Amino acid sequence: MDTPALVPPQTSQDQQVLNKLTEIRNKLVLLKTDRTTYLRSQDVIPLYDETIEQVNLLDGALGFVEGKPTTQLGHVIDSCFRILSLCFLTIGRNNEAPAVYSPTTTILRLLYHLAECDLYSAHDLEALTETLDKLSTTVTRDTKCPRPYSDLLARRIELCRTSVGTLQERLSRLEQPLPDVYERLISLLRTVSRANTRPTVSMSEIGELRQKIQAIASERKNGLFVAKDGSVPAGNDIVNGLLERCLHWSELSLERKGDIPERFRPIYDQLVAVRNHLEKLSITHAWALREADLYDYNRTIDRIDDMRVNGNWVDEEGNPADLYVQRILLYLIRRCYGYTFSLVIASQPVSEALLPVYNQLRTLKRCLTEVKKAGGVKTVREVYPYSMKLNSIDNMRVDGKFIIGEDIPEGQGSVTELLEDCFDLSRGLLEAAEAAETKASESPGTGRESEAESDYESGDERAIGAQPGTGVEIHA
């Protein structure tokens, strides 16, 4: 939480705002770390209003350059807006403008790194563009958001769009069939980097990856990739440059065998730990993630990223990291940012207080959907467990709302809609099972039994003897 050595406030007014915002930030940190209760709107909104009130007192700029804080005041404002943004996601208010700040901050960091390393795929840019469109819509629709704050968010989104456009322009220079070759090389390069950061670095795995890279290199004719008609597509210089980087990186990885010098081991271990935690959350986020916790991960990653001098890390004696260490650390940082981005985007517009119910319903819906795809159930009895669980959840509602304690958490509409979907699926299975049982009771076999009983009543013993399983010994 320490404020870095940035430009201090220049006026007494700014200093007062800095002091007040620091106090608000400390309250937000205590609020998000309190695990004894759920985050509630009535706890978050007043602190948000206080933050906006203080920001509105500033006469000049907020202390941001290209989306990054450059002053002490800008740094604290950034911290407050980030925590508030994650808190809005935690309480289920995803569709309000304040929730947009944290995703745009992560996207900006990702774009800086993509431009710096010049290694990205079309899929990366598509995901970012789609997210930016959604964030822009959220800001536009939130008419209650104060104008200065909505303008700040709009500028950040536009800054992201400009950066994405610059990156897309480079990929657009690739003519067929080079885009596919480029994507394969990007995937192989990242896989080699991941292999270097496993607990036990496998030389055989890296060797196999190098062979795949060499196989792509062998597809060239006279050092160039050619189209089916024999023409030389534009963009060969870009793909060939990437190919050489892949070959050099795989060769260097085989030489170093995962060796990280002790002077950079603390940074490496810290990044690996963060990466592993985020990776686990990406699997269990629906049940284990409190979005506000991502603030601590982001701050750790930012701090390590900002330790670089001219793009590289230096040891205590001022010696820069060699190429292998530099690339490994940069890979880990970018991977961490990638995980935080995916976790924020995966956040559902449901308060954490309602998440247990919401997740149970999501699981039930998946089960019911799979049962339906598999052909449904054979008997009505098989539907009972689903119906009982749905009824128990439905009985939790009071006047149609889910109430936790004395609060009505955000996300009532999403949970109710999911509950109704589950009831519809359950009713469909039940009706199909009842129809199947009715059809079975009217089967031809049953009709023959009735006819046999009639024959017995009329004294036709031969008809009775023709019916198997009657228990009557005709010739006794």
Residue 334 contacts residue 326 (beta carbons within 8 Å): no
Q: Which two tokens stand for residue 111?
A: 């774009």
Strands 401-402 and 397-398: antiparallel
Q: Which residue from 253, 247, 246 is spatially nearest to 189, judged by alpha carbons?
A: 246
The string of pLDDT tens digits covering residues 101-129 is 999 999 999 999 999 988 899 999 999 99
- Can you tell me the distance from the alpha carbon of 48 to that of 423, in angstroms, rounded to the nearest whole number? 38
Q: For residue 150, how far is the Cα from the chain centroid?
A: 24
Give SS3 for 309.
strand
In a domain, 422, yes or no: yes
| Sign of the CA dihedral running 186, 192, 198, 204 | positive
d(CA 127, CA 338): 11
Mean pLDDT of 431-443: 81
- Please give the share of the chain, as a percent, with pLDDT higher than 70: 90
Give per-residue burial for 43-53: e unless 16+ CB within 10 Å, then b.
bbbebbebbbe
In 3D, which of 376, 475, 367 has the Cα closest to residue 431?
376
The whole-chain average pLDDT of the chain stands at 87
* Nearest-10 Cα torsion for 315, 317, 323, 329: 10
Confidence of residue 10 (pLDDT cuts 50, 70, 90): confident
Q: Domain residues for 425?
A: 355-441
Which pLDDT does position 70 carry in this prediction? 80
Q: What residue type is assigned to position 237 of the chain?
A: D
Distance, CA of 270 to CA of 274 (rounded, Å) = 6
Q: Is residue 374 a part of any domain in this protein?
A: yes
pLDDT score recorded for residue 459: 43
Query: Does any domain span residue 420?
Result: yes
User: Whose structure tokens read 């792509």?
Assistant: 216
Closest CA to 360 of 386, 331, 384: 386
Bridge partner residues of 102 (DSSP) = none
358: amino acid identity, one letter: Y
Distance CA 371, CA 385 (A): 13
| CA–CA gap between residue 247 and residue 185 (Å, rounded) | 10
How confident is the model over 346-395, as pLDDT tens digits? 998 999 999 999 999 999 999 999 999 988 888 888 889 999 999 999 99
| Any domain includes 380 | yes
Contact 7, 60 (CB under 8 A): no
Q: Is residue 366 part of a domain?
A: yes
Q: Is 54 left (phi over 0), alpha (psi -120 to 50) or beta?
A: alpha
* Cis, peptide link before residue 177, omega less than 30° from 0: yes
Provide the b/e sequence for 218-238 (b: ≥16 CB within 10 Å). Answer: eeeeeeebeeeeeeebebbeb
pTM across the whole model: 0.84
CB neighbours of 44 closer than 8 A, spacing ≥ 6? 31, 84, 87, 88, 91
Q: In angstroms, what is the C-alpha Rg of the chain? A: 31
In 3D, which of 125, 15, 7, 88 has the Cα closest to residue 348? 88
Q: How would you classify residue 344: left for phi > 0, otherwise alpha for psi between -120 and 50, otherwise beta?
A: alpha
Task: Note whether 18 and 9 are within 8 A (CB).
Answer: yes
Q: What is the pLDDT of residue 472?
A: 34
How many whole angstroms from its chain centre is CA 328?
A: 23
Q: How far apart are the first and last CA of the chain?
A: 97
**Percentage of the chain modeled with pLDDT above 90:** 67
Assess if residue 247 is contained within a domain.
no
Give per-residue pLDDT as tens, 46-80. 999 999 999 988 866 676 777 778 888 889 999 99
- Split into its structural domains, the chain has a count of 1
Query: Is residue 427 a part of any domain in this protein?
Result: yes
Tell me how far apart the alpha carbons of residues 310 and 422 are, in angstroms, rounded to a whole number: 55
Helices and strands, counts by H and E, the chain: 17, 4
CA dihedral 88, 89, 90, 93 (to 10 degrees): 60
Mean pLDDT confidence for 422-451: 76
Instruction: State the pLDDT confidence band at 5, using cuts at 50, 70 and 90.
Output: low
pLDDT in tens, 313-322: 999 888 999 9
- Give a yes or no: residue 437 inside a domain: yes
Residue 164, burial from CB neighbour count under 10 angstroms (0-12, 13-18, 19+): buried
pLDDT in tens, 12-44: 888 999 999 999 999 999 999 988 888 999 999
Q: What's residue 262's pLDDT? A: 94
**Which residue, among 437, 433, 413, has the nearest Cα to 425 in the 3D structure?**
433
Answer whether 25's CB lies under 8 Å from 83's CB: yes
Determine if residue 279 is left, alpha or beta; phi over 0 gives left, psi from -120 to 50 gives alpha, anything else beta: alpha
